[in-house]
Amino acid sequence: MNGDWLIRGRDGRLTVYLPSGDAVLCRAERGPAGPWDDAPRTVGGHQKLHPGPAVGQGADGYAHLAAWRPTVPGESGLVHSTHFRPRLAPLDWIPIGHPDKKGDRTGPPAVAVDSAGRAYVFVRNNGGGVSLRNQKMKGGWGPWQDLEGHDVEGELAAVTGESGMVAVFASVPGGILHWRQEEHGKTPVRTEGVDVAVREGTLRALSTSAEHTTLFFTDASGDLCAWRPGEKPVTLIASAGPGPVSAVRCEIEGHDCTVLAQRSSSGRVAFAAYPTEQESAGAWWTESGPQLPADAMVSLALDEHDEVVAASLSPSTGKLLLTRRKDEPGLALEAWREI
């Protein structure tokens, strides 16, 4: 999944979105803090999907999902679904087309949702740049728009800032490209990027203040770095593992902190926390839980009490594990449990 696949709904209940073969499944808490549904439900009906769906969430708590589906032999199209509440069924998949009108998959999609609840679906196009299609204020979808760019590789990182405006980041050989909205409802425009060697598939963006979005990525040397447009990238800590981090902001002992999680090279989940936007304070990894398969993913969210919750999922085994922060100082976690 591209994006945070563990999210808190508007009623405080948690939902996980699980890729499963040619479908996406969702599973929700029956009430805050559980228990969980015994069995997952299929998102969007019975359409067959390609791997690599994306999920984004708006301030209204609604989840928006996008995925590629096969259409005719050798071609694919993107589809979109909305999930309003954890215990309700998501809407059926709605076709939203192809950035190049027709063809096969061009790259993994990414989704962000603006302050008006409109979904923005970003995807690489056949020209190597980024295309966008977004929902209109009065319903329906606008046309595909070419945001330009070049040599885009890997997953895009889409994010909504505290302002409610949307931004997207893309890695290219030797750098990072960046687009952002300058006004609500307007098309994001390309703005300042940065020259840096980035490991493909490691971008993750987080809104970290009213003024800034922070992009986390792993550089060519294996260090986890943080970058805010307009500043220089900062090395935070050696990456715990090969994939992207999951990131969330929360209050720890009265301080606004950023918590990071990543499947480590040892196979366990590694956690780190530091004061938000104060990378110079330093951070260090603490590993937790059992050893996980190589394909395990990790996601972070806040529960109904704004406490950290972490989930790990292995698509190969289907095993979903969950832990929560204890009512103790620091970032102490409960024992992981299977749900």
pLDDT computed for residue 249 by the predictor = 97
97-106 as b/e, with b when 16 or more CB fall inside 10 Å? bbbeeeebbb
Mean predicted confidence (pLDDT) in 275-287: 96
| Cα torsion 321, 265, 273, 229: sign | negative
- Residues 23 and 18: their CA atoms lie apart, in Å, by 9
Residue 148: which region, alpha, beta or left (left: phi > 0; alpha: psi -120 to 50)? left
Average pLDDT over residues 180-197: 96
Residue 330: pLDDT band (50, 70, 90) is confident
Q: What is the pLDDT of residues 131-176, one digit of tens each?
A: 999 999 888 999 999 999 999 999 999 999 999 999 999 999 999 9
Q: Distance between CA atoms of 244 and 157, rounded to whole angstroms?
A: 10
* pLDDT given for residue 320 in this prediction: 93
Residue 318: pLDDT band (50, 70, 90) is confident
Q: For residue 335, what pLDDT band results from cuts at 50, 70 and 90?
A: very high
Average pLDDT score, the chain: 95
Q: Which residues pair with 269 in a beta bridge?
A: 263, 288
**What is the pLDDT confidence band of residue 291, given thresholds at 50, 70 and 90?**
very high
Lowest mean pLDDT among 39-43, 166-170, 173-177, 204-208: 39-43
- Cβ distance 240 to 281 under 8 Å? no
Q: Does 32 score more than 80 pLDDT?
A: no
Buried b vs exposed e over 228-255: b needs ≥16 C-beta within 10 Å? bbeeebeebbebbbebbbbbbbbebeee
> What single DSSP character describes residue 263?
E
pLDDT at 150: 95
At residue 46, the pLDDT reads 87
The class (CATH top level) of 6-244 is: mainly beta
pLDDT in tens, 82-136: 999 888 899 999 999 999 999 999 999 999 999 999 999 999 999 999 999 999 9
Q: Which residue do the tokens 């999930």 mark?
A: 83
pLDDT computed for residue 327 by the predictor: 82
The band of 33, judged by pLDDT with boundaries at 50, 70 and 90, is confident
